[in-house]
Amino acid sequence: MMKLNPSRHRAGIFWMFVTGLCFVAVTALVKHMGSRVPPAEAAFLRYLLGLIFLLPMLKDLREARLTPRQWKLFGMRGIFHAGAVILWFYAMTRIPIAEVTAMNYLSPVYVTIGAAIFLGEKLAMRRIVAILIALFGAAIILRPGFREVSSGHLAMLVTAIVFAGSYLTAKIMAGEVKPTVVVAMLSIFVPIGLAPFAIAVWVTPSLNDLMLLFCVASFATAGHYTMTLAFAAAPVTVTQPITFLQLVWAVLLGAIVFGEPVDIWVVFGGVVILASVTFITWREAVMKRRPVTPVVHETKV
């Protein structure tokens, strides 16, 4: 049995805490930019400017001998991810930050469902109940019939599903090539997938907007890196609950900086979804099976 290491666990918690701050910074910057740059163009520029972070991965990319099947899967993942990123940028201009954050918690739930359908992962009754509870959490956030369900909400619902498709494809490829190759191929294919949509709505961005989008790319890259450090230091069952803090930061940021009202039902729904995801992750650890359900941050832009 693996011995508990409190210092390593504390390090994992710390790095996941930093990860949450990085991704909240991403949402804050995109929210601040607003609709000055169309969502498709903003998403394209975020990934185009982020190509600079691809440089350390070029050696592994050159050495990879990808088969035609792998090229197709990477291309398919790029399409999934490009669509999800456009929808996410769109939702950020339409609904409060807290609602975007809370609804993003659904992605790991959809991954669990997709793993059962496409990867043959078995769904025990406990996991089925957890999934149903998570979907109930989404209903709490949306409250159809009691409030207007806007295009931004619908965009986030689809975003979570499409991000799940991207993650499942990455999960398949992670067992065949180096992780750096998986990341590099995403960085290449996403801007290619976004380019036609960006060109169709192109407006000349200001220097300030370009700087903001480069900061978005930097914080997103930093967030994925610190998340990797968190996973290396502690089990996911230790770091997963820390992702709840991102909802706290999002609520505070929306209220203090952007004047968005605090909706207790959104917070409650987000907690219900995250509790469900945490339970599913814990069950995967208890059953000692290959983890399928990702943490919330793994399905980010």
The rounded distance, in Å, linking the Cα atoms of 209 and 85 is 17
Query: Would you tell me how many other CB atoms lie within 10 Å of the CB of residue 175?
Result: 7
How many helices and strands, by DSSP H and E, does the chain display? 13, 0
195-216: per-residue pLDDT in tens? 999 999 999 999 999 999 999 9
The pLDDT of residue 238 is: 76
pLDDT band at 3 (very low <50, low <70, confident <90, very high): low
pLDDT band at 1 (very low <50, low <70, confident <90, very high): very low
Which is more confidently placed, 63 or 281?
A: 63
The rounded distance, in Å, linking the Cα atoms of 24 and 193 is 25
The pLDDT of residue 192 is: 94
Backbone angles phi, psi at 103, to 5 degrees: -75, -25
Least confident of 13-17, 137-141, 239-243, 255-259: 239-243
279-288: per-residue pLDDT in tens? 888 777 776 6
Q: Is the per-residue pLDDT at 294 higher than 90?
A: no
68-87: per-residue pLDDT in tens? 999 999 999 999 999 999 99
pTM of the model: 0.86
Q: Is the per-residue pLDDT at 231 higher than 70?
A: yes
Q: What is the DSSP string of 12-55?
A: HHHHHHHHHHHHHHHHHHHHHHTTSS-HHHHHHHHHHHGGGGGG
36-56: per-residue pLDDT in tens? 899 999 999 999 999 998 888
The pLDDT of residue 2 is: 46
Which is more confidently placed, 186 or 238?
A: 186
